[in-house]
Amino acid sequence: MTVTASMVKELREATGAGILDCRKALEAHDGDFARAVDFLREKGLAQAAKRMDRSAREGLIHAYIHGGGRIGVLVEVNCETDFVARTDEFQAFVANVGLQIAAMSPQYVSRTDVPESVLEHERAIYRAQALEEGKPEAIVDRIIEGRVEKFFQQVCLLEQEFIREEGTTLDQLLKAQISKTGENIVIRRFSRFQLGESLGD
Name all domains of the chain by residue range, CATH numbers in brackets: 5-51 (1.10.8.10), 58-110+156-194 (3.30.479.20), 115-155 (1.10.286.20)
CB of 56 closer than 8 Å to CB of 184: yes
- Whole-number pLDDT of residue 45: 63
CB of 11 closer than 8 Å to CB of 36: yes
Residue 67 and residue 174: Cα distance in Å, rounded? 26
Q: What is the pTM of this model?
A: 0.70
Looking at per-residue confidence, does 42 or 45 come out higher? Answer: 42
- Whole-number pLDDT of residue 201: 46
